[in-house]
Amino acid sequence: METEKLRVYDEHGNPQGIETRQAVHEQGLWHETFHCWMVGRRNNRDTVYLQLRSEAKKDFPGLFDITAAGHLLADETVEDGVREVKEELGLEVDFDKLILLGMVKDQMEIPGFIDNERCHCFLSPMPNNNDLRFELQLEEVSGMGEVDFEALADLFAGKEEEVEIDGFIATLDGHSPFKKRIGLKEIVPHSSSYLEKIIYLIRQELNK
């Protein structure tokens, strides 16, 4: 995976060439990603689905993350990003039915890992929560959880320390349900500016 070829850009989106994924994260090169936030309704409240990353993942194993997300390879378009939804979650999603939220920058740096992303963000309404049948790619995703949208917004804004998440862990025999409270340390880190912007954009769509 570290040898995957990604197209790199300057901060303003001007193409600068192609590099390996490893080089992109070692040098902090700007690259593009696809983010799909799935939302539903439960008890007359808007909810957001978070995936639980597999413990086998190199980066941020065992943490909750965006419903489906991934790097756009050098030969891919934004439309090709829907493959992440199919591969990771086993759901067929029509790109034309996704709601475009826009391009949101996300920057993060930890020892040995510099991430400068231009994120193509989309919203996928999933109103029939009980009809969802996730078929997870277990080497990538080990479970799914559902959280109240406004509670998640308060967590991201620092107004709350924890949020309740209700979901399941995939097992060899099926699904093992869970309900617990998690804080930011259980969620893949994103820049505060990204989280603030994505909550604003999602809320705008949900309030239409």
CB neighbours of residue 154 within 10 Å: 15
Burial string for 59-92 (b: 16+ CB within 10 Å, else e) reads eeeebbbbbbbbbbbeebeeeebbbbbeebbebe
Total domains, the chain:
1
Closest listed residue to residue 35, CA positions, set 61, 4, 6, 71: 71
**How much is the average pLDDT of 12-40?**
96
The pLDDT assigned to 172 comes to: 79
- Comparing 128 with 178, which gets the higher pLDDT? 178
CATH of residue 103's domain is 3.90.79.10
Domain holding 64, by residue range, is: 5-9+15-206
83-137 pLDDT tens trace: 999 999 999 899 999 999 999 999 999 888 999 999 999 999 986 666 678 999 9
The pLDDT assigned to 127 comes to: 66
- pLDDT of 16 above 70: yes
Closest listed residue to residue 86, CA positions, set 145, 134, 148: 134
- pLDDT of 150 above 80: yes
CB neighbours of residue 34 within 10 Å: 25
32-76 pLDDT tens trace: 999 999 999 988 999 999 999 999 998 899 999 999 999 999 999
The pLDDT assigned to 1 comes to: 61
CA pair distance 156, 64, nearest whole angstrom: 13
Q: Is 190 left (phi over 0), alpha (psi -120 to 50) or beta?
A: beta
CA pair distance 8, 16, nearest whole angstrom: 5
Q: What pTM does this model have?
A: 0.94
- Comparing 174 with 128, which gets the higher pLDDT? 174
